[in-house]
Copies of this chain bind each other. A is one copy, B any other.
Amino acid sequence: MTGPYIAVVGGGDRLPAAQRRSAEAVGRAVAEAGAVLVCGGLGGVMEAACRGAHAGGGLTVGILPGRERGEANPHVDVAIPTGLGEARNALVVRCADAVVALAGEFGTLSEIALALQAGIPVVGLDTWELGRGGGPLPVDPVVRAGDPARAVALAVELARTARAAR
């Protein structure tokens, strides 16, 4: 696939309705931008984003922590069971040209951090905020977006720029 690969990371648990709609809108926008959606392949944000990508006619890839393809959510097209446990978080991120982080727990935070460590741009929607010494960082390394459409537009733009810079 020639489009960029955009990873969507976020919590795997059952979502409040508003977050589910956001994740679906992110997935749909990724598909409509002609990008491949990569994720951890499980439920919650991952499942909602894949459902949205399918509604938009896109392709979805799930990089699973366990060994069974059957643990993928039903909207994953290409399921990669790794058997690596949460060490697969690094693979989700490496596979992406940019990351959209939506809410999420510690696993999501690790993916944000691994992406930033690897120089992969991260766009955040209502997600972790990073600080030092009692306040936020002087420059936020996560690009904040106000809504799903804007988040994906930024991610696609940053993916193109990051690629060109290599």
Determine how many copies of this chain the complex contains: 4
Find A69's partner among B5, B84, B85 (CB 8 Å cutoff). B5
Contact indicator B128/A117 (Cβ below 8 Å):
no
A149 at the interface (CB under 8 A from B): no
Question: Apart from A82-B94, A112-B113, what are 16 other A-B pairs with CB-CB below 8 Å?
Answer: A1-B77, A36-B78, A81-B94, A82-B95, A83-B94, A87-B87, A87-B91, A87-B94, A90-B90, A105-B117, A106-B141, A107-B117, A109-B116, A129-B132, A129-B133, A134-B136
Contact indicator B131/A86 (Cβ below 8 Å):
no
Render A94-111 as a binary contact track against B, CB cut-off 8 A, 1 for contact: 110000000001110110
List of B residues within 8 angstroms of A68 by Cβ = 166
Contact indicator B133/A131 (Cβ below 8 Å):
no
A89 at the interface (CB under 8 A from B): yes
Size category of the A interface is 35 or more
